[in-house]
């Protein structure tokens, strides 16, 4: 490429950006990455996937010690939460992971710049560092991977003290007595679970009539049942939040109920978990004329190319699911495409996961989507409670649901709520990438006793109602 300092420069070091940079370097491109913060890793590693899973694990241990150990014959007394230690362990997990990314940058000879990148022209980026100094670099191709930020709704101003987002919730040094969660999506349910397990009363206010609406409807119904039963969650559906204020260390939320009457909720904290918005501020996109769509996302074509031919965009800042593995897949796809290879991404087979307990995971078409598309399908379902493995670990809630084409038997969707669903869904992805039939999964051996046996049983049920253990 030659005329520029770098062949490829990536803006943003989240799972989209840093993975794209590694793959570009592996393919022989002279690569640079620019990150605004001192820590690499983006939302996912610093204030998203990794810290939330660290706290989900810690809180799950506490909940089990408090509620389930006795049944296992383990008696504990004087059980307490040490919130400072819990947060400290979470921070260590984050730091180790972030340092891992720095090591990978060095190993792959990727030049790392810290500062805010903004376009001077299509090949020139100005980097403004924390101390105000600036540096200019040039690059043949530029990949924007600037991710997303929490969004809010009209009337709800995030003060980061009582009215908070997931970022602040991940650093709370006390267990709130009560927390209102605005939004029944993934982040609301995961963070709500953390605090409910530690003893907080959780009230979820949701605008629509169901939880995790992007996933198969049955999963939302089941997780609602389990969170109500196990963690005493209270759910308020079809409620439109109109305001949130703080009054003497209490947060008060006003909402319109389904009858359009105003109702008030009060709690120690309000967690605003209504989604995330693409982050493009400070990039100077207007200088190069990069187009945004009507939701503020950078517009890209199928090759992830913007309307400026040498500038590309991936991850949360473009259309599609806001998921770390989707961002990474796009990073790899793009690097390989720029190297002249013929990569592919099957967006239908990017799994969705919620790390509640039980976990929730789905891939492929939901039942509603199949009905809307008029695709004839059959269904197989198997409850985890029928498995010896589930009884052994006291993980009885949930099921595997397989949707297969009515005539060809090809698997079109798999939806799991149950123990280790986040890991189990990988079997569905592999099967569906190879266009397996339900019969294929039904005849393959699954080790006993494992949670994966529920997949085989659901596949048997889908093929000819041949499930063995129900
Ligand atoms: C609480 C929470 C839990 C989550 N859990 C999961 C999960 O379990 N699984 C999952 O798949 N997804 C999860 N997500 C979503 C996941 O974090 C995102 O989908 C993912 O981080 C998107 O990656 P990205 O690379 O597109 O952007 P990001 O990770 O957002 O990274 C973008 C980076 O760009 C930097 N940047 C922005 N502008 C500039 C600029 N002008 N100059 C330089 N740098 C800039 C930012 O500082 C940031 O570091 C979670 C999110 C949250 C908030």
Question: Which residues have CB under 6 Å of ligand 1?
Answer: 11-17, 34-37, 42-44, 48-49, 52, 116-117, 145-148, 166, 187, 279, 282-283, 315-316, 322-325, 327, 355
* 186 Cα: distance to centroid of ligand 1 (angstroms): 15
Would you say residue 1 has pLDDT above 70?
no
* 42 Cα: distance to centroid of ligand 1 (angstroms): 5
The tens digit of pLDDT for each residue in 202-221 reads 999 999 999 999 999 999 99
What pTM does this model have? 0.97
Say what percent of the chain tops pLDDT 90.
97
The DSSP-derived string for 100-153 is HHHHHHHHTT-EEEESEEEEEETTEEEEE-TTS-EEEEEEEEEEE---EEE---
Which ligand 1 atom minimizes the distance to the CA of 118?
41
| Cα separation, 6 vs 290, whole angstroms | 21
Joined together, the tokens standing for residue 276 give 């995330």
Residue nearest to atom 15 of ligand 1 (CA): 323
Joined together, the tokens standing for residue 339 give 């190297």
Which ligand 1 atom minimizes the distance to the CA of 42?
49
Residue nearest to atom 33 of ligand 1 (CA): 12
pLDDT of residue 213: 92
The tens digit of pLDDT for each residue in 396-410 reads 999 999 999 999 999
The DSSP-derived string for 316-382 is GGSSS---HHHHHHHHHHHHHHHTT------GGG--EEE-SSSEEEEEE--HHHHHHTT--EEEEEE
Which ligand 1 atom minimizes the distance to the CA of 283?
41
Catalytic residue numbers read 448
Which ligand 1 atom minimizes the distance to the CA of 37?
47
H or E segment to which residue 403 belongs: strand 399-405
Would you say residue 227 has pLDDT above 80?
yes
Would you say residue 332 has pLDDT above 90?
yes
pLDDT band for 38, please (50, 70, 90 cuts). Answer: very high
Would you say residue 386 has pLDDT above 70?
yes
Hey, is 52 helix, strand or coil? helix
Residue nearest to atom 51 of ligand 1 (CA): 48
pLDDT of residue 2: 59
| Cα separation, 469 vs 417, whole angstroms | 18
* 15 Cα: distance to centroid of ligand 1 (angstroms): 7
* 20 Cα: distance to centroid of ligand 1 (angstroms): 14
Query: What is the residue-averaged pLDDT of the chain?
Result: 97
Pocket test for ligand 1, best of 23, 43, 113, 316 (most atoms within 8 A of CB): 43
101-120 mean pLDDT: 98
Which ligand 1 atom minimizes the distance to the CA of 323?
19
The tens digit of pLDDT for each residue in 318-331 reads 999 999 999 999 99
302-313 mean pLDDT: 98
Pocket test for ligand 1, best of 20, 40, 49, 166 (most atoms within 8 A of CB): 49
Residues in contact with 163: Cβ distance below 8 Å, sequence separation at least 6, in sequence order: 156, 157, 244, 246, 251, 269, 270, 272
Would you say residue 466 has pLDDT above 90?
no
Which ligand 1 atom minimizes the distance to the CA of 12?
34
Pocket test for ligand 1, best of 215, 324, 421 (most atoms within 8 A of CB): 324
pLDDT of residue 131: 94
pLDDT of residue 165: 97
| Cα separation, 144 vs 415, whole angstroms | 33
Which ligand 1 atom minimizes the distance to the CA of 40?
49
pLDDT of residue 154: 93
* 459 Cα: distance to centroid of ligand 1 (angstroms): 36
Residue nearest to atom 35 of ligand 1 (CA): 12
Residue nearest to atom 7 of ligand 1 (CA): 49
Pocket test for ligand 1, best of 10, 11, 14 (most atoms within 8 A of CB): 14
* 4 Cα: distance to centroid of ligand 1 (angstroms): 28
pLDDT of residue 3: 81
pLDDT band for 438, please (50, 70, 90 cuts). Answer: very high
pLDDT band for 465, please (50, 70, 90 cuts). Answer: confident
* 389 Cα: distance to centroid of ligand 1 (angstroms): 36
444-467 mean pLDDT: 94
* 309 Cα: distance to centroid of ligand 1 (angstroms): 25
Residue nearest to atom 52 of ligand 1 (CA): 48
Rounded to the nearest 5 degrees, what angle is found at the Cα of 192, between the Cα atoms of 97 and 52? 0
* 43 Cα: distance to centroid of ligand 1 (angstroms): 3
List 149's β-bridge partners, or say none. Answer: 277
Joined together, the tokens standing for residue 173 give 């040094």
């Amino acid at each position: 490429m030659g005329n520029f300092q770098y062949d490829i420069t990536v803006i943003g070091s989240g799972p989209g950006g840093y993975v794209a940079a590694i793959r570009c370097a592996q393919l022989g491109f002279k690569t640079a990455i620019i990150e605004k913060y001192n820590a690499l890793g983006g939302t996912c590693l610093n204030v998203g996937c990794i810290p939330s899973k660290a706290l989900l694990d810690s809180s799950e241990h506490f909940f089990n010690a408090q509620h389930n150990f006795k049944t296992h014959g383990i008696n504990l007394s004087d059980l307490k939460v040490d919130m400072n230690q819990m947060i400290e362990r979470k921070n260590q997990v984050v730091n180790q992971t972030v340092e891992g990314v720095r090591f990978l940058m060095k190993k792959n000879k990727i030049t790392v710049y810290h500062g805010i990148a903004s376009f001077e022209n299509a090949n020139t980026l100005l980097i403004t560092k924390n101390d105000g100094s600036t540096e200019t670099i040039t690059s043949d191709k530029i990949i924007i991977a600037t991710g997303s930020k929490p969004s809010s709704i009209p009337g709800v101003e995030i003060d980061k003290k009582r009215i908070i987002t997931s970022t602040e919730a991940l650093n709370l040094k006390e267990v709130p007595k009560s927390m209102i969660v605005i939004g029944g999506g993934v982040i609301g349910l995961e963070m709500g679970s953390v605090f409910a397990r530690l003893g907080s009363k959780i009230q979820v206010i949701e605008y629509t009539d169901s939880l995790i609406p992007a996933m198969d409807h049955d999963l939302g119904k089941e997780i609602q049942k389990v969170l109500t039963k196990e963690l005493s969650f209270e759910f308020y559906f079809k409620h439109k939040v109109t305001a949130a204020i703080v009054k003497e260390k209490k947060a008060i939320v006003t909402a319109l109920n389904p009858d359009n009457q105003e109702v008030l909720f009060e709690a120690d904290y309000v967690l605003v978990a209504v989604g995330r918005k693409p982050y493009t501020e400070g990039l100077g996109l207007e200088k190069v004329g990069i187009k945004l769509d009507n939701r503020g996302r950078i517009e890209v074509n199928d090759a992830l190319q913007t309307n400026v031919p040498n500038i590309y965009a991936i991850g949360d800042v473009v259309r599609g699911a806001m998921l770390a593995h989707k961002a990474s897949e796009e990073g790899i796809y793009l690097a390989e495409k720029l190297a002249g290879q013929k990569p592919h991404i099957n967006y239908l087979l990017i799994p969705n996961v919620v790390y509640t307990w039980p976990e929730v995971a789905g891939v492929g078409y939901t039942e509603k989507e199949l009905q809307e598309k008029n695709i004839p399908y059959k269904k197989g379902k198997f409850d985890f409670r029928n498995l010896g493995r589930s009884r052994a670990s006291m993980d009885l809630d949930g099921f595997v649901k397989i949707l297969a084409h009515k005539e060809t038997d090809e698997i079109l969707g798999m939806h799991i709520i149950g123990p280790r669903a986040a890991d189990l869904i990988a079997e569905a992805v592999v099967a569906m990438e190879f266009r397996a039939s339900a019969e294929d999964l039904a005849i393959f051996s699954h080790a006993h006793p494992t949670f994966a046996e529920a997949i085989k049983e659901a596949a048997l049920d889908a093929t000819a109602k041949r499930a063995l253990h129900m």
